[in-house]
Amino acid sequence: MNSAQQQAHDAVAGYRLVALCCFYGLILYFGFSTYQALSAISLSSLLIWLIQILPLVLFAPGLHRTILRSNIWLSFIVLLYFTHGVLVAFDTARTVLGLIEISLCTGLFCSLVLQIRKLQNLARQ
């Protein structure tokens, strides 16, 4: 493996780490926001949280194993969460929560796109 390939692998590992941090940050964020909205842990709040994170959790195995197709689809799905974050940010009572969701979605999306690009360049070499 030459120096350029090693640098590309290191870059992919860095992007993967950022993607994983933002991914799990979103899952924790939805747990916190659900708890804050309902002010109690109950079966209904757990069900709401599971519905919110289900699309993310479906892509967790592909994200952990760095599967290119899974990363591509996750980058599309995270745009829906970004839209949700923008809508939440317009509510004056939940602006901070919306900005946190937007930040996590932006970090996840950018790291996924950069990771996808590096993986495609490695596949061509």
Residues 71-99 pLDDT 10s = 999 999 999 999 999 999 999 999 999 99
The CA distance from 49 to 20, in Å, is: 19
Structure tokens at 3: 């120096």
Q: Residue for token digits 């495609």?
A: 120
Least confident range from 39-43, 95-99, 107-111: namely 39-43
What is the DSSP secondary-structure string of 53-97?
Answer: HHHHHTTHHHHHTT-HHHHHHHHHHHHHHHHHHHHHHTSGGGHHH
For residues 125 and 118, which has the higher predicted lDDT (pLDDT)?
118
